[in-house]
Amino acid sequence: MKVLMFGWEFPPHISGGLGTACYGLVKGMVHHNQEVIFVVPKLWGDEEPMADFVNASDISIDYREKRFKSIWKNLTYLEVSSFLVPYLGPEEYKKFTDYAIHDRTDVDESIFSTKYEFSGKYGKNLMEEVSRYALTGAQIARDRNDFDIIHAHDWLSFPAGIAAKEISGKPLVAHVHATEFDRSGESVNKPVYEIERAGMHAADHVCAVSQLTKNTIVKKYGVPAHKVSVLHNAVLDASIIKSTYNKKVPEKIVTFLGRITFQKGPEYFVEAAKKVLDRDPNVRFVMAGSGDLLNRMIDRVAELRIADRFHFTGFLKGDDVDHMYAISDVYVMPSVSEPFGISPLEAVRHNTPVIISKQSGVAEVLDNAIKVDFWDIDAMADATFALLHYEGISKMFKELGTEELKKLKWEHVAAKLVTVYQNILAEKS
Amino acid sequence: MRTICFYFQVHQPYRLKPYRFFDIGEDHHYWDDFLNRSVMRRVAQKCYLPMNALLLDLINKYEGGFKVTFSMSGTFMDQMESYAPDVLESFQKLVTTGHVELLNETYGHSLASLKSKSEFQNMVRNHQEKIKKLFNGYEPKVFRNTELIYSDQIGAMIAEMGFEATLTEGAKHILGWKSPNYVYCNNIEPKLKVLLKNFQLSDDIAFRFGNKTWADYPLTTDKFVKWINNVPQAEEVINLFMDYETFGEHQWAETGIFEFMKHLPEAVFKHTNYGFSTPSEVVAKVPPIGKIHVPTPISWADEERDLTAWLGNDLQDEAFGKLYELEKMVNQIDDEEIKRDWTYLQTSDHFYYMCTKFFSDGDIHSYFSPYDSPYDAFINYMNVLSDFILRLKEKIKGQEAEA
């Protein structure tokens, strides 16, 4: 089988977890001798040659193709409706969008220049890039007919997947790694939501990284449950990491590592830390990362008068991430909403016992971890205290956790995906 | 004859280097030697050396008719010894003329007066020793507290240590209808005289001098002389208190600040009935007119003239509280490096960098901070303090093991 996959980033040039997951999945597919054409907005040239990579920035668009025009019009509609006119009534809205579509020839001309240099990042031209990426998808689907199925990862590539399906008539799989509800809570970005929804509904089948995510897809996007398969993420390497980095402080260390944003629940970690420190001052808590809630967390830590026991490292990269895991005695991921959440598995690889929120996808695959509701700071404090003080339980989690990790392989995920493909193709024919 | 009393504050903090969480427990050197040295050298070239030379000329020219007063923090004197012996030499020359008074302050330019009497006294004594050592046995008689922080209670502490007088801000909210241009005395211990800064005239020089949008720009000696002549004849002392770095650093040479100072004494002697005195001369000559009542501490900072530049938000209160919890432990330890770091960590500037008052005076705060934000300042300080605490505990354990 040959799959035409649309992604947004690929290792080593990644800024989020999406690229890593795509890498793992492709690797798993290759293990099962499946061929993958992998399209990314921008190729850097140092990607591992495991797939037939296509650099979208190299694709020339044939703007005489009439069908492309209609694809573009749909996208323009999305863009205009979302960013330029947020507060118009329905009638004015229609007038405005009609006007905008016919009037914005300047955009049409620049966007229909034969090639387009993508940044492949998440910058301010994101919407424009997403739209242009869709045209590229259509062009690729027209140029080559050597694939059986189309697979698009997250909303950024959904328009490309939809366009490729329209042009080629091949079935589409939409893979959801995170939804707008995970990223923004209830204050969703409407146009992003619309793209996600359009992608899921246009798709013949949807893959979700956890049951939790599947529930969101069914509930918030109105996709029938039978159309959604759960495909949990896996780990690339389950080996235990023996670090030579030594801890410099005598106290035990409890760590939060991730973006300091609403989604990750940093405030629950701070409140739980206070509770633990009230009982045992000989612990250090570390919040590693950066984000829009960082200053608020610092204020709260100061207000609670625990700043000599609660440290902020800022954004960590490279070896520092490994060092942080290595010196941690407990790892906490109190996410409010986490479609999957790979970081606890990294902690397990460093032999660190983990506490994870029940509102995370990883809780569905990791049995040997303490699971608490993100808002239950008492339970979080109790669990932290127990893992710090009761040797038995932390030892057990360390041993069993690492065993569990070995079962989470990308080739298993890929095998499941191949079955999904086969079912779709069987249904079609 | 009426008099002008010039007092200049000379201070540089020991700024912390970027100190990461991973450094805690391992790296015990906290100070940004490169930054501290380069600031010292820059200010030496732009301010200390040229201004000292100018003042020496004026003192010699008027054969003692012109005089000034300095208060130098211990952290400044330490850095001067390390990085700018040329500046030290020029200050020594000034003091040798006999027409320069030196004030006593806290060694670490600390806020100890607000928290711990014993630490405050300790810091004052250490500062005395340092002055004696660097300036040929000189013994200050007048005290100036960090940032001109003063209250009735602090005044009483200063009196108890035997000082004749102290300096503080002529804050509007404590003076009311009264004028800063008299000598006052402490509310609890009347033998301690209190000199109040005339902030209007002081800030005309220190803050507004080079401001082209100021209605009175440019400030000339003629204009200044006219203003002091407008002060009622009964008011005898005009206290012009300011940072020494005003000259050449806060107000660049291009503003004409050096020219202004060079010609000011001549204009004063020619066109007014004012002379120049130092604080101890003022209190010897001018009897106090009454008590000044300051129940809560004031300072010379910001529009509010209170403590909120250094204390009051959670970041500052947490850091300040955690720091002074350590006093008892520090006092059990006999170790030069511990004592030095303890002193330098108390410097008020560290807390000033954590100030989150972004209204009215935020600009001046960010101008003086080596950090991007008060939060960065707080994190860095707490990381350092965490390491310092670990060292204290280890030292105490070591001492106990020996005993």
Q: Does B253 contact chain A (CB < 8 Å)?
A: no
Is residue B380 classed as helix, strand or coil in its secondary structure?
A: helix
Residue A168: its pLDDT value, please?
93
Which candidate from B21, B375, B390 shows the least CB-CB separation from A313? B21
Q: Are A116 and A131 in contact (CB under 8 A)?
A: no
Residues facing B167 on adjacent strands: B144, B195
From A396-400, B1-5, B80-84, the region with the lowest mean pLDDT: A396-400
CA-closest candidate to residue A140, choices A5, A14, A20, A237: A5
More confident residue, A67 or B232: B232
Cα of B25 to nearest chain A Cα, Å: 5
Q: Look up residue B44 and give its DSSP letter.
A: I
Would you say the CATH fold of A252-405 matches that of A2-234+410-428?
A: yes
Q: Are A101 and A76 in contact (CB under 8 A)?
A: yes
Cα of B76 to nearest chain A Cα, Å: 28
Residue A424 scores a pLDDT above 70: yes
Residue ranges of the alpha helices (H) in B181-220? Answer: 199-206
Spatial neighbors of B49 by CB under 8 A, at least 6 apart, are B86, B87, B90
Residue B48: its pLDDT value, please?
98
Residue B358: its pLDDT value, please?
61
Chain B residues whose beta carbon lies within 8 Å of the beta carbon of residue A312: 21, 379
Q: Are B348 and B111 in contact (CB under 8 A)?
A: yes
Name the pLDDT band for B360 (thresholds 50, 70, 90).
very low
Chain A residues whose beta carbon lies within 8 Å of the beta carbon of residue B318: 301-303, 305, 307
Residue B135: its pLDDT value, please?
97
Chain B residues whose beta carbon lies within 8 Å of the beta carbon of residue A249: 24-25, 386, 390
Name the pLDDT band for B77 (thresholds 50, 70, 90).
very high
Chain A residues whose beta carbon lies within 8 Å of the beta carbon of residue B375: 294-295, 298
Which candidate from B25, B373, B382 shows the least CB-CB separation from A307? B382
Name the pLDDT band for A85 (thresholds 50, 70, 90).
very low
Cross-chain residue pair A295–B385, CB shorter than 8 Å:
no
CA-closest candidate to residue A129, choices A6, A248, A31: A6
Residue A76 scores a pLDDT above 70: no
Inter-CA distances, A64 with A61, A105, A128, A160, Å: 9, 15, 21, 19
Residue B367: its pLDDT value, please?
64
Cross-chain residue pair B318–A295, CB shorter than 8 Å:
no
Q: Can you tell me the distance from the alpha carbon of B210 to that of B205, in angstroms, rounded to the nearest whole number? A: 8
Q: Can you tell me the distance from the alpha carbon of A178 to that of A233, in angstroms, rounded to the nearest whole number? A: 12
Window A:313-352, CB contacts with B under 8 Å? 313-314, 320, 323
Cross-chain residue pair A302–B315, CB shorter than 8 Å:
yes
Name the pLDDT band for A64 (thresholds 50, 70, 90).
confident
Cross-chain residue pair A307–B26, CB shorter than 8 Å:
no
Alpha carbon A170 to its chain's center: 25
Cross-chain residue pair B386–A308, CB shorter than 8 Å:
yes
Cross-chain residue pair A299–B314, CB shorter than 8 Å:
yes
Residues facing A356 on adjacent strands: A333, A371
Residue A68: its pLDDT value, please?
79
CA-closest candidate to residue A403, choices A359, A367, A357, A360: A367
Q: Can you tell me the distance from the alpha carbon of B11 to that of B157, in angstroms, rounded to the nearest whole number? A: 23
Q: What is the mean pLDDT of residues B105-110?
A: 98
Residue A113: its pLDDT value, please?
60
Cross-chain residue pair A312–B21, CB shorter than 8 Å:
yes
Cβ neighbours, 10 Å, residue A366: 22
* CATH 3.40.50.2000 applies to domain A2-234+410-428: yes
More confident residue, A99 or A424: A424
Which candidate from A286, A295, A303 shows the least CB-CB separation from B21? A286
Q: Which of A248, A303, A324 to mutate to test the interface with B (most CBs of B within 10 A)?
A: A248
Q: Does B25 contact chain A (CB < 8 Å)?
A: yes
Chain B residues whose beta carbon lies within 8 Å of the beta carbon of residue A295: 373, 375
What is the C-alpha end-to-end distance of chain B, expressed in Å?
65
Q: What is the DSSP string of A145-190?
A: ---SEEEEEHHHHHHHHHHHHHHH---EEEEES--HHHHHTTS--H
* CATH 3.40.50.2000 applies to domain A252-405: yes
Residue A106 scores a pLDDT above 60: no
Q: What is the mean pLDDT of residues B149-160?
A: 97
Which candidate from B313, B318, B373 shows the least CB-CB separation from A305? B318
Residue A88: its pLDDT value, please?
34
Q: Does B326 contact chain A (CB < 8 Å)?
A: no
Chain B residues whose beta carbon lies within 8 Å of the beta carbon of residue A314: 379
Would you please indicate which residues of B are annotated as catalytic (active-site) residues? 147
Q: Does A290 contact chain B (CB < 8 Å)?
A: no
**Domain residue ranges in chain A:** 2-234+410-428, 252-405
Q: Which residue in A has a C-alpha nearest to residue B380's C-alpha?
A: A312
Q: What is the mean pLDDT of residues A331-353?
A: 92
Q: Are A61 and A114 in contact (CB under 8 A)?
A: yes
Cβ neighbours, 10 Å, residue B64: 11
Q: Which residue in B has a C-alpha nearest to residue A285's C-alpha?
A: B21
More confident residue, A203 or B373: A203
Q: What is the pLDDT of residues A207-252, one digit of tens each?
A: 999 999 999 999 999 999 999 999 999 988 888 888 889 999 999 9
Q: What is the identity of the amino acid at A415?
A: A
Q: Can you tell me the distance from the alpha carbon of A328 to that of A287, in angstroms, rounded to the nearest whole number? A: 11
A205: part of which helix (H) or strand (E)?
strand A205-208
Cross-chain residue pair A249–B317, CB shorter than 8 Å:
no
Q: Residue for token digits 């959904």?
A: A158
Q: What angle do CA B359, B18, B374 make, to 5 degrees?
A: 15
Q: What is the DSSP string of B97-160?
A: TT-EEE-B--TT-B-GGGT-HHHHHHHHHHHHHHHHHHTTT----EEE-GGG-B-HHHHHHHHH
Cross-chain residue pair B375–A295, CB shorter than 8 Å:
yes
Is residue B178 classed as helix, strand or coil in its secondary structure?
A: coil
Q: Which of A284, A308, A312 to mutate to test the interface with B (most CBs of B within 10 A)?
A: A308
Q: Can you tell me the distance from the alpha carbon of A47 to that of A53, in angstroms, rounded to the nearest whole number? A: 9
Rg (CA), chain B: 21
Residue A191: its pLDDT value, please?
86
Cα of B314 to nearest chain A Cα, Å: 5
Residue A94: its pLDDT value, please?
43
Residue A210: its pLDDT value, please?
96
Q: What is the identity of the amino acid at A334?
A: P
Cross-chain residue pair A249–B24, CB shorter than 8 Å:
yes
More confident residue, A17 or B295: B295
Q: Which residue in A has a C-alpha nearest to residue B21's C-alpha?
A: A313
Tell me the average pLDDT of chain A.
86
Inter-CA distances, B246 with A166, A346, B191, B250, B284, Å: 72, 55, 32, 5, 29
Inter-CA distances, A5 with A91, A162, A171, B385, Å: 39, 12, 12, 52
Q: What is the pLDDT of residues B236-278, one digit of tens each?
A: 999 999 999 999 999 999 999 999 999 999 999 999 999 999 9
Q: Does B383 contact chain A (CB < 8 Å)?
A: yes
Q: Does A245 contact chain B (CB < 8 Å)?
A: no
Residue A396: its pLDDT value, please?
86
Is residue B328 classed as helix, strand or coil in its secondary structure?
A: helix
Structure tokens belonging to residue A238: 């389950």
Cα of B37 to nearest chain A Cα, Å: 27
Cross-chain residue pair A302–B317, CB shorter than 8 Å:
yes
Residue A123: its pLDDT value, please?
63
Which candidate from A249, A301, A312 shows the least CB-CB separation from B390? A249
Residue A128: its pLDDT value, please?
79
Chain B residues whose beta carbon lies within 8 Å of the beta carbon of residue A311: 21, 24, 379, 382-383, 386
Q: Mean pLDDT: which of A178-187, B153-162, B299-308 is highest? A: B153-162
Omega before A334 within 30 of 0, i.e. cis: no
A97: part of which helix (H) or strand (E)?
helix A90-103
Cα of A305 to nearest chain B Cα, Å: 6
